[in-house]
Amino acid sequence: MNYLDLYHHWLRFDGLDSILKEELQQIQEHELEIQERFSQSLSFGTAGIRGIIGAGTNRMNVYTVRKLAHGLGEWLHHENLAEKGVAIGYDTRHCSVEFAGEVAKVLLHHGVKVYLFKQICPSPELSFAVRYHEAAAGIMVTASHNPPNYNGIKVYGADGAQISPHITNQILENISRISDEFMIPVADLSEAEASGSLVWLGSEIDQTYYKNIASLAFQTNDQNKYFRIVYSPLHGTGRLPIESVLSQRGFEHVFVVPEQADPDPNFSTVKSPNPEDPASFQLAIAYANEQQADLVLVTDPDADRIGIAIRDENNQFVHLTGNQIGALLLYYLLSQRLERGELPSNGAMVKSIVSSDLGESIASHFGVKTQNTLTGFRYIGEFIQKWKQTGEYKFLFGYEESYGYLIGDFCRDKDATQACLLLAELGAYYQKQGMPIHQVLDTIYKEFGYFQETQISVTLEGLEGSKQLKEIMIRTRSNPPSHVAGIAVCSIQDYLQGVEGFPKADVLKYLLEDGSWFAIRPSGTEPKMKCYVGVKGSSSTKAEEKKIAIKEYLADWLGF
């Protein structure tokens, strides 16, 4: 069927949800809107689907969710994994509870055992639950830090990491055979519960997850009791785990931003529920000044990303980049392990190719291997699993510049609760030594070099936006610059054509003569084109000047 036929098929379906039917009736005279909703289906991005909630094959709704669940259920049945089951979690977004229930009902119809959370949970806890119950897969209903009109589904494999492209392709093949999404059969949850096919996950899994995180701490509880923290979950899932873990580790002065403490699917106090955005810290910083706090922690709605603000030399709060947070965590972790004689001779850390080279410099100083990966935490998870099996390296830390960090491998996705604990602890530890966090960061720069990074991104939504994203990548491949801001380009790594040791991906990375670099790629989770810049200077000022010059050149070259 073409998009108009699909539109009328949906409109004529008697069982269509009344809200969705009303949406479709309102666009009867708007062919471009109909085309936008029905000319394609939601595509798999980074190990899942994500999109605007609404009616249509290119929207998040009960029927698109059932299609994905059916594709997963068919794969599990074919691989004889139904009895191992699937863990299902969900966040605070619109329709998250409903979508989780629909996934459960479809999987149960396929004879798949289901472990369903009773209440909201962070994405990393869902990853933990997959491993804890030795399930075959996991589903997390979330759109992470996207705007409130979005929702999505992340799919996890048996190791707790986001699924591989190989499994994704098999699920997509199963989905492609669905002739009518309205005819996908579902089970009854009450009957499944009575038969034991549906298992509810409650406080037991929560407490076990929190205990594992608390075990990552280096310092005694007494060390932490006077350190003052303001925390915001941005209306998401982070409050319970982060308050619980910090309390377990002796932090007695943790203040949750009142206006952002409770779940709110509209994220009504922020323009964007994203800790990468300094604007999301406005209420938290104001509250931190009231409470005379030493540190501000902010997590996104599914509590996998964390941002922080620290006091600078003028006692004013400043927002740190994801790379700066990564450098602080890595330096603290490795120095603490070294001090305790717990730094393995085969230690390794994993970071994405668009993250700062500062991390590699720190790791090298401690004799720790750096493994670079493509963007997407599933690649970090793949190396953790590989090293577990081969014993070649001992995983110590994984991170991406986009505010995602992992210390303990008992889960295999970025985990804001783990990072919150270690960031709070390092703040308290250095404060005892008379060093505020900004001085620790300055010490790192002086020892390892003045690295700076920045990013340019442009949002290109809809069918036209998708077309523009492809055109930008074609244009940059066909017309590469020989110099950028007066610095010669010495090599180009085209990951779509193939770079040794990496899977193929639509990413271009340009290496410059002075050690600077920039990379361009379309986002795997948002309708955005992203350009990353990394530089190193002889001083903070020199690095800043170089970063600005390269960024300005690239914005003009890319037409951003």
User: What three-state secondary structure class fits 437?
Assistant: helix
The whole-angstrom separation of Cα 54 and Cα 34 is 12
Kindly list the strands in the beta sheet with 394-400, ordered across the sheet, starting from the edge strand earlier in the chain. 369-373, 347-352, 394-400, 404-406
**Around Cβ 6, how many Cβ atoms within 10 Å?**
17
The whole-angstrom separation of Cα 202 and Cα 152 is 23
Both tokens of 120, joined, read 């909201």
The whole-angstrom separation of Cα 518 and Cα 499 is 16
The whole-angstrom separation of Cα 354 and Cα 375 is 7
The whole-angstrom separation of Cα 225 and Cα 81 is 47
Helix (H) or strand (E) holding 205: helix 203-214
Catalytic residue among 144, 232, 244, 355: 144
Which residues have C-beta within 8 Å of that of residue 352, sequence separation ≥ 6? Answer: 372, 373, 374, 375, 376, 379, 380, 399, 400, 401
Dihedral (CA of 132, 133, 137, 139) sign = negative
User: What three-state secondary structure class fits 8?
Assistant: helix
**Residue 435 zone, left/alpha/beta (φ > 0; ψ -120 to 50; rest):** beta
Amino acid 128 reads F
The whole-angstrom separation of Cα 229 and Cα 296 is 6
**From residue 445, how far is each of 56, 314, 370, 429, 449 by CA, in Å?**
51, 19, 19, 19, 5
**Around Cβ 173, how many Cβ atoms within 10 Å?**
12
Both tokens of 212, joined, read 């594992």
Catalytic annotation present for 144: yes
The whole-angstrom separation of Cα 54 and Cα 21 is 10
Q: Please identify every residue annotated as catalytic.
A: 144
